Structure 1
């Protein structure tokens, strides 16, 4: 094949490629023009109808739960434990006998003291009669002043012996009383920390000195303790309502209480403020020694316009449905909680605020309402 023929064939091939490319581009352009003329498909959304309602601003914390009364039951004296009448988990009433020391020697001491008191009283009666006789004779000048003084001093000595004997009886009785351990209040035996036969010495420390022969708790009320960050502490006030739920409470029941303590100084390490609340727990739903969630109602407003938190975009605006299109509404906000936020301006009652499908949705985009969310 000659060089001239090769050149002609190559030229024809290149011309064909150029023509094919031009036709393809034209078809693509025509297709784009056709697509751009098609209407945009509406975005499916769900809406919330704005209405007036009560809204409460709430703060949520993790709290430790403690019994509001707790006491280690320990005798004031040393001795060997003779009997323990209760077990862990027992419910007891105020004044109920819980445990006692071996009181045999104490009872003997009490008997001796009572006998000595009886003798002292008899001696006092004799001394009183003798003094009265001597006093009468002294007035009649039948006895000397020395004899009279001797009788008077004998009476005073007998009175002192009687007083001392009474004190000894009281001491022995007190020793007996404190060797018997009774419940100071209604409650539950949280733990049993000693056994019958153990020798206890509260002054020496150790297990029973710190936690008692038994530990008695009353958790018909619960102390709720939690820590609040500096930026929130100004919102916390004594008397505010709280709602508490135990993390191990599978019924999801929340118990109501109120704040009783707000510390004015922060922990030097955590920089947080300790707050305490007291919650009624009559059904013993909350358990001491566990953790729970506490919700503090720091403020509330009646007849407020509020929308779900999911409606607010960029913390400054919401999208509402107007004429089947998304319309942007700049808003200002007020109180808020985990679900709702108050709208103080920018919306009116009855507006349909988009709460689902609003992420990435442009203003003016067509929308199709698939349902209304109730809150």
Structure 2
């Protein structure tokens, strides 16, 4: 067989094999995945207030005992537990043992005496009846406690204030109290106790409020401002930190598709904003507020919408 007839098929085979290998060596290049994010803007017009919240408990500081004014039998009871009474109101009627024994005899001898030996026991203060110890028919001794009435004039909210916040609280002309049902009431500081707790170093403070039938032992929240400041701030949702809460950063956009890790020093904060004390952040910078968790430095992103 001539040599040129052998060479031509061999060259054709090698050419086809080379083309096939080249085709297999060129893989499909997939585009890098992008994280869908929402962004917010750094601002220097935000006022951030550092607030302190303390718990306050509704209390009646004074309670008055209703005491028997003679030894004898209770002939009438005009109160029950929870009743509101006024100072001087008649709560019990008493008849002495001697009057019960001799009263009818004396009246039979001379009806003009009108002797019955009854006496009235009055409330020593205005307030609510919180305890009733005796009922009609009971025999009691002179001075024995028949009931207890809390003193409405002593009602207020008592809170334990750390000593370092005491002057801040005193500067407040009115105190706003948030109740558990979402309503609010205002009060004023009526008294600061002259001693501090030896362990917690807190001072008891009484806040007087208009009693709107607030039950005793109800816990309210008192919030007051410790510090106010204007300055560069970023949305709180944009701030990411390490596990020890010692390092803080945001993912800042350097263009429409790339976000970089940008550390900063954190200042005051509230529920929406965090103050930037120092760092490579300026007013108007776009920072990621949603989708930023776990993003690596120089991540590719797709902007979905713009937040605050």
Q: 1:45 to 1:372 in 2, by over 3 A?
A: closer
Gaps of 5+ in 2: 1-20, 103-117, 242-246
Q: 1:349 to 1:335 in 2, by over 3 A?
A: same
Instruction: Check if 1:182 corresponds to 2:137.
Output: no
| Deviation readout 1:204-226 (Å, 9 max, x if unpaired) | 7xxx3xxx613234389532334
Q: 1:368 to 1:216 in 2, by over 3 A?
A: same
Corresponding residue for residue 66 of structure 2: 74
Instruction: Check if 1:99 corresponds to 2:99.
Output: no
Corresponding residue for residue 198 of structure 1: 138
Instruction: Check if 1:43 corresponds to 2:36.
Output: yes
Q: CA deviation at 1:278?
A: 1.2
Structure 1: how far apart are the matches of 2:236 and 2:208? 29
Q: CA deviation at 1:360?
A: 1.4
Q: CA deviation at 1:307?
A: 4.0
Q: 1:299 to 1:78 in 2, by over 3 A?
A: same
Corresponding residue for residue 110 of structure 2: none
Structure 2: how far apart are the matches of 1:262 and 1:30? 83
Gaps of 5+ in 1: 1-22, 109-175
Instruction: Check if 1:276 corresponds to 2:208.
Output: no
Deviates more, 1:189-198 or 1:256-265: 256-265
Structure with the higher helix share, 1 or 2: 1
Match of 1:223 among 154, 157, 164: 157
Structure 2: how far apart are the matches of 1:239 and 1:197? 53
Structure with the higher strand share, 1 or 2: 2
Structure 2: how far apart are the matches of 1:98 and 1:309? 60
Instruction: Check if 1:57 corresponds to 2:60.
Output: no
Local SS of the residue matching 1:289: coil
Please tell me whether the aligned partners of residues 236 and 262 of structure 1 are also in contact (alpha carbons under 8 angstroms): no
Report runs of 4+ in structure 1 exceeding 6 Å deviation: 103-106
Corresponding residue for residue 276 of structure 2: 343
**Which TM-score applies when normalising by structure 2?**
0.63
Local SS of the residue matching 1:287: coil
Structure 2: how far apart are the matches of 1:340 and 1:219? 43
Q: 1:76 to 1:310 in 2, by over 3 A?
A: farther
The residue correspondences of 1:230-309 to structure 2 (distance < 5 A) are 233-237=163-167, 238-239=169-170, 243-246=176-179, 249=180, 251-257=181-187, 260-261=191-192, 265-268=196-199, 271=200, 273-278=202-207, 280-284=209-213, 286-290=214-218, 292-301=219-228, 303-309=230-236
Root-mean-square deviation (CA, aligned residues, Å) is 4.1
Please tell me whether the aligned partners of residues 63 and 150 of structure 2 are also in contact (alpha carbons under 8 angstroms): yes
Q: CA deviation at 1:96?
A: 3.2
What number of residue pairs does the alignment pair up? 258
Structure 1: how far apart are the matches of 2:274 and 2:299? 25
